[in-house]
Structure 1
């Protein structure tokens, strides 16, 4: 029987299956130290503490003139304070300074250009030494100045343990003198395709190119895992057992294919000889033959080999497991609201995931697109589907015209 379409009503509910698996998943606590430039997206295992202040010196916060604040006391438009432009901020002298540049020694404030008026001969604000400036608004000590450590002080924690390093964080870390950071290692995930006649390269007569493992690997990487994708394994007990045992050093093992009820579908039997099967079947269509196991304390997820079923099992089961090991939130798809163009049937007690195409109609701005189920052609279905509609286990049908949320996994980065 088609491994995607056999009845799944007797399978373990999806939520219960995830809970059973979660009992055997713990965030990886191994750590490594990396250059911060290569650590974007990783989770910090230790806080990042500043070795140097930011800014590293007193600097002008605005374009203008560095002055002694006392020299501007009481200045008004009617009675401005007159300062000579010079190269050093002596009493009664102003020094031209640009934002971000060091504050000249002896100055304690910066008068902004808007608070100045030229005096005497009408020289402009780029005037040479010796010209006079009229300050119409007094400044207080520290005004217009970013003092040393105003942004970050020495020994200040700028990133906490458990934070994920974002795209702008390498710049911050470098600025405070931290070019290397301690991060959690990514959980290792072994992916083993199973099936007769599967090949990784050009197929010969009777052979099929294995593609599901690549799809699973992409999603596991998005969830924070580090993938080892194995060559396909023949569904023979003498080949399956060592293939499973080889990757029990990984934090998670995912087998792809061989979960159906055919004579060659033996992966679950092979795993049962090595460990405990937590669930042989999940109430999920397609992907009802998904199995969950534990072998020598290592969690194992066995998903169907049909491309559509493998996709569904990956997004519903494998991705949350990998994310939990990586101690991060599982990636979520973008969603778009759409109206069903035709009804979608489901089975009571089973969560159904249906691939759909989206039609924007005339393309009117703000118009709700129509979602129509994609005809079932295993591999090309993935290419033709614009998204996926979930029908909950508590429903047996979604009616035509009903507004649904379409998951767009391929648009997720």
Structure 2
């Protein structure tokens, strides 16, 4: 029976994609695609791996993971897959409910829109430079030291979190400038080359040197979404090449950061690292479904505790501490390596029905953003899609949903847009 559930769970996204996203050997790389990839990679793949591997596996990390998988009963596996399918369908229904007719830009149509003066972008870059230099000074001892160089050090994790925010904010500035100055008569690479890429790439190199691949990959996915949705559809061949290169790069960073070379075969180690990423994340969902009663609706204080994190801590520290809810203390969950499956976060914070409603709304809003014609919506849409594929599925919601998606991918671009508009109005703009 579990094989039947797995087959259905895998078939649903492929049918959705094939029926709507692939035409004439081209694919629209949008929010439905990135969510489908995250769903298959983080939710379904671990279950498939667990069923396929032998009980007598003796490789250290795999054996550790399998010890959790083997405790799940058949009924629990089926419930997990059923809920995953319902969640996926809710998201897709929300997305399709909002479709009116997606916009398509035509290449070589001239400038994308008004060519802003650079003062606003320069001001914003100068505004975050002091924070960049502070973070660079704090993180300098750990650069090129791998993922575990500062493991167990709270100051290290705080500094890395600040670097992640700087990376995404500097990317938002660069992204906004690039989209608003896009010239369809130039090549993609020419359009991507501008001075505001310097800070973004510097933050990216620093983050990669510490073994953090997630947020850099998030920005890359954002750029691919912009290209694949608003410029031209990707051919299936190009999409396959990009996917292989991306997975290889992510796997290589994973090997370097954990010094995983014991297998002696680099390609085997890369493949193992790619599979172990969602497998180890799934430990939290397996222990969650095994040891807890899944709430139909969560107490209102649970989602409230998430969104209260948007308030600045230096002004509302006591309120945030009073309302804050940690799922790992409220439920019996194990996440030995820190990653928390979005399956846990959705049900833990919203309950099953609340999650279905939330995913429907999430898909609906992304589809609305995709259909808008202004560059700010495109920046927000691209960054949300980038965050959806990876961090949304494997980071705690107080980080992925609140910090990365709402704060860095929605509020930051809106603030950037306001500053750009103000400087254009005060100092004039060139056409």
Shorter-chain TM-score: which interval? under 0.3
Bigger Cα Rg:
1
TM-score of the superposed pair, with normalisation by structure 1? 0.23
Higher helix proportion: 2
Larger RCO, structure (CA 8 Å, separation 6 or more): 2
Higher strand proportion: 1
